[in-house]
């Protein structure tokens, strides 16, 4: 496409809008994430000599075009919602305005870099809501879709309100608090479960979470009581026990009794094992005595909805509003703004999807702001703590029906009269 | 765990087995993939000074253990199925035998590196079967779970029998044939659809696939006829037209008529737009005149089953068979072999899951072979072409019921009497 545009000397300025056409069935809202990576990508975008040589070797591109690519930098502007913003169908998460070739060339990267973080943050926040304050640990690296996905999932889950990750590199790179426990293989490697527990407690006296279901969960709990007493005698506290299989409601109650009777009433129970937000909600509402949850595969892969209908659409080129008419894929023309109205109770009342050049209505906040101009970053990206805090505030702003795990209500997103008029004008012009 | 094992001076040799506990509902078989990355990871494994410094800064590890990590290399052996092998539940894709700390430390990486390639190859091959010889292009990079996943998905889909990818870097790195077409945004960027088509044809006279559904698909087909004639007059051939929305069965027939009537009978129709193997099967069985399919998101994310129940289990340590008893998670003890019996018709009749030290029965082939010893690679990894060819042979070896897209038959995997006896002995010893 770039080669054809270059050859046709099509150097108009274009605006592309990144948005989700429809929310997945079980989502009342999404949490935007991934912007930091997009901005870094755009800032650093260039073709390497090696890449250009390889493109030349394909024999498909002439040297004028390859020279153009050699000098290509992203020189455009980006308006975006901050990471951690609650976002709904049809609302742009970001808009890129740049010379057509630049704006078009970055499509795949922009979608890819926003898609997974937004997908996982939007999935993970559901477990945070279900857990009603109980801490969650992200355990999913082993079955995330590759290593890059594992890093992004740890970051996205933390933004969404998880307390920690078992991904050590995410601790190093992003500063996310680390947690983890032993595996069944660790316990099995010792001849005796108690011996395995004691060895772990010796190595980690202040962060010892014992996995007690390798053989018999209740018997494991009795051994944990013993280790808790031994740790206490040395001035430490057993950090927890973990159950990774079986009927977690029943077992957590049985284990709680063993711990309480054995003087380990302050030792929390952690559960894990292929759980998702519905399991968390079920266990919490049953009153199971569970202190924390470890969640992995189903969060990192967003198992019930492993992709978002996230698209990057041309909405204006050379000053002309662009309308796509393909069946089922019509989208709103032109650069846009999202204006959010906040009620007196601090709750979000409704959003207006408007043209970008409309004034912000009184009582509304506007959600996209310029973050890059002439290819230069306009701001210092918020810290991960700031993003996480924004996400928590945004979720707190949603009415209860929007936050429901199933059968969520539809948050009202109104289309502004100006935008409707422009859409009609563009359709008439087709 | 490693710190605890080190402190407890637990230096036994351990064997871990990597296998899928249960196939996803709609899978009669899986295609193993990802081994090349695992072997490279194991070969290169070491802790960097920077990583060790960071670990030390956590204050959780003593210097004796950190010194141990500084010198740690993978010194063990790996037995594995070649990539492209058809594999079933409970059959090990690979086994690692190494000092316990080494074998345990690599768990997350080994699972992660095999999981996605196997997941995507096993998903993609279903579309290959459904397409009955029609070429498939992998288009999924934009919504794969990160950039690493996009690269792995392109490679896995190609192993499974796709013809090409739109991921240019996968073309450069892995040599996968590239294909692609224009986007709707390309067409919309021109004032006129025909002008957009002509510009593309000028830039790519020999690989021009026109996207004809931006405005009106049948009108787009008429313009494609015009461009085909113009290309033919210059000695080129229009490579195809693509339909990305709407009722693909009906539209492909209408477009076929326009092309045929316009003297473009040799121009194939490519369809795309959120398709999976069931869509392909439906369109093929309806006799829609479709020459090729572009498949993306639902393949790259394995949408109906975005993870495999892939586990890495300790099966022997210090010469002792290890049995895991956790509810629903019992697995077979000891290092294992998979013996596959091939019938006179070349079809696979059944597999035996056996102990690794059992002789290979007459008439069977054994599927795991040593690929690494003392941390050194024993072989040159097959080329991607060889892996792809093996995958095609393996799929051809499967009886029709095993290959079905829905309601697949269960391939017979028998447990050898020796393995059963060892399992019973291990259970009795618990």
Predicted complex ipTM: 0.97
Q: Among candidates B164, B367, B366, B326, which has minimal Cα distance to A220?
A: B326
Mutate to test the interface with B, among A99, A146, A196 (most CBs of B within 10 A): A146
The rounded distance, in Å, linking the Cα atoms of A213 and B327 is 9
| A313 contacts in chain B (CB < 8 Å) | 184-185
CA contacts within 13 A on the Cβ side of B206:
5
The rounded distance, in Å, linking the Cα atoms of B191 and B200 is 14
Every domain of chain B and the residues it spans = 2-105+309-429, 121-300
SS3 of residue B103 by DSSP? helix
Q: Provide the sign of the torsion angle of the four alpha carbons A127, A131, A135, A139, taken in this order.
A: negative
Are B336 and B423 in contact by the 8 Å Cβ rule? The answer is no
SS3 of residue B268 by DSSP? coil
Q: Do the Cβ atoms of A145 and B301 come within 8 Å?
A: yes
Q: Which CATH superfamily, name and number, covers B2-105+309-429?
A: nicotinate phosphoribosyltransferase (3.20.140.10)
DSSP 8-state secondary structure symbol assigned to residue B341: E
DSSP 8-state secondary structure symbol assigned to residue B177: P
Mean local confidence (pLDDT), B395-400: 97
Quick one: pLDDT band at residue B181, thresholds 50, 70, 90? confident
* Structure token pair of residue B116: 């996605």
The rounded distance, in Å, linking the Cα atoms of B349 and A417 is 67
Q: Do the Cβ atoms of B4 and A200 come within 8 Å?
A: yes
Collect the ranges in chain A with pLDDT lower than 50. Answer: none
pLDDT tens per residue across span A243-299: 999 999 999 999 999 999 999 999 999 999 999 999 999 999 999 999 999 999 999
b/e for B13-39, b at 16 or more Cβ within 10 A? Answer: bbbbbbbbeebbebbbbbbbbbbbbbb
Are B368 and B337 in contact by the 8 Å Cβ rule? The answer is yes
Q: Among candidates A24, A111, A428, A330, which has minimal Cα distance to B246?
A: A330
Alpha-carbon distance A359 to nearest alpha carbon in chain B (angstroms): 28
Place of tokens 């993609």: B124
The pLDDT of residue A43 is 97
pTM exceeds 0.95, yes or no: yes
Alpha-carbon distance B51 to nearest alpha carbon in chain A (angstroms): 8
Q: Do the Cβ atoms of B189 and A328 come within 8 Å?
A: no
The region that residue B92 occupies, defined by phi over 0 for left and psi between -120 and 50 for alpha, beta otherwise, is beta
| A141 contacts in chain B (CB < 8 Å) | 108, 112
Searching chain A, which residue's CA lies closest to the CA of residue B55? A172
Q: Compute φ and ψ for A206, nearest 5 degrees.
A: -110, 0
Mean pLDDT of chain B: 96
Give percent of chain A with pLDDT exceeding 70: 99
CATH T-level assignment (fold) for domain A2-46+74-105+310-429: nicotinate phosphoribosyltransferase (3.20.140)
The pLDDT of residue A344 is 87
CB under 8 A, 24+ apart: contacts of A355-363: A355/A416, A355/A418, A355/A419, A355/A422, A356/A79, A356/A95, A358/A416, A358/A418, A358/A419
> A163 CB contacts (<8 Å, ≥6 apart)?
A135, A136, A137, A177, A179, A292
Distances (CA, A) of A258 to A196, A252, B393: 19, 10, 56
Q: Among candidates B87, B98, B106, B104, which has minimal Cα distance to B29?
A: B87
Distances (CA, A) of B424 to A216, A341, B19, B420, B430: 18, 67, 21, 6, 10
The pLDDT of residue A48 is 97
The pLDDT of residue B327 is 64
| A314 contacts in chain B (CB < 8 Å) | 184-185, 188-189
pLDDT tens per residue across span B6-50: 999 998 999 999 999 999 999 999 999 999 999 999 999 999 999
CATH number of A121-300: 3.20.20.70
The pLDDT of residue A188 is 93
Mutate to test the interface with B, among A1, A123, A324 (most CBs of B within 10 A): A1
Q: Do the Cβ atoms of A246 and B327 come within 8 Å?
A: yes
The rounded distance, in Å, linking the Cα atoms of B189 and B196 is 8
Beta bridge partners of A353: A338, A415
Are A103 and A97 in contact by the 8 Å Cβ rule? The answer is yes
Distances (CA, A) of A415 to A49, A330, A333, A336: 47, 14, 12, 11
The pLDDT of residue B346 is 87
Q: Do the Cβ atoms of A200 and B1 come within 8 Å?
A: yes
Place of tokens 């962060």: A207
Mean local confidence (pLDDT), B170-175: 97
Longest dimension (CA), chain A: 82
Q: What angle do CA B363, B368, B369 make, to 5 degrees?
A: 100
pLDDT tens per residue across span A390-422: 999 999 999 999 999 999 999 999 999 999 999
Give Cα A166 distance to the centre of its chain. 17
pLDDT tens per residue across span B317-368: 999 999 876 666 678 999 999 999 999 888 999 999 999 999 999 999 999 9
Q: Among candidates A124, A113, A138, A114, which has minimal Cα distance to A302?
A: A124
């Amino acid at each position: 496409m770039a080669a054809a545009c270059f050859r046709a000397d099509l150097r108009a300025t274009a605006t592309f809008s990144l948005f989700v056409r429809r929310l997945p069935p079980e989502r009342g809202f999404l949490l935007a994430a991934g912007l930091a990576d997009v901005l870094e990508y755009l800032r650093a975008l260039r073709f390497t000599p090696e890449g250009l040589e390889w493109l030349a070797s394909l024999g498909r591109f002439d040297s004028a075009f390859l020279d153009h690519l050699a000098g290509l930098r992203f020189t455009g502007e980006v308006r975006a919602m901050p990471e951690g913003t609650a976002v709904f169908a049809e609302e742009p998460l970001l808009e890129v305005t740049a010379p057509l070739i630049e704006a078009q060339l970055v499509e795949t990267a922009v979608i890819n870099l926003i898609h997974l973080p937004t997908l996982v943050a939007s999935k993970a926040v559901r477990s945070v809501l279900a857990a009603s304050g109980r801490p969650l640990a992200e355990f999913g690296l082993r079955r995330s879709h590759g290593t890059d996905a594992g890093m992004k999932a740890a970051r996205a889950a933390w933004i969404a309100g998880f307390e920690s990750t078992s991904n050590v590199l995410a601790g190093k790179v992003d500063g996310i608090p680390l947690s983890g426990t032993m595996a069944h293989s660790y316990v099995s490697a010792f001849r005796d479960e108690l011996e395995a527990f004691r060895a772990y407690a010796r190595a980690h006296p202040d962060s010892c979470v014992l996995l007690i279901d390798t053989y018999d969960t209740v018997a494991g709990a009795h051994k944990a009581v013993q280790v808790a007493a031994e740790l206490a005698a040395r001035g430490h506290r057993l950090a927890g026990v973990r159950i990774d299989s079986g009927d977690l409601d029943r077992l957590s109650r049985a284990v709680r009794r063993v711990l309480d009777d054995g003087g380990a009433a302050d030792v929390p129970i952690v559960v894990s094992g292929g759980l998702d937000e519905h399991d968390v909600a079920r266990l919490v509402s049953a009153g199971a005595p569970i202190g924390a949850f470890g969640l992995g595969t189903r969060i990192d892969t967003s198992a019930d909805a492993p992709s978002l209908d996230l698209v990057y659409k041309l909405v204006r080129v050379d000053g002309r509003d662009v309308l796509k008419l393909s069946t089922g894929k019509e989208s709103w023309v032109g650069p846009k703004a999202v204006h959010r109205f906040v009620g007196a109770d601090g709750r979000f009342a409704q959003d207006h999807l408007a043209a970008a050049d409309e004034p912000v209505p009184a009582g509304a906040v506007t959600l996209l702001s310029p973050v890059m101009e002439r290819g230069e970053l306009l701001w210092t990206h918020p810290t991960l703590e700031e993003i996480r805090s924004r996400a928590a505030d945004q979720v707190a702003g949603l009415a209860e029906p929007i936050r429901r795990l199933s059968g969520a209500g539809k948050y009202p997103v109104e289309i502004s009269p100006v935008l409707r008029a422009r859409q009609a004008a563009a359709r008439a012009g087709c």
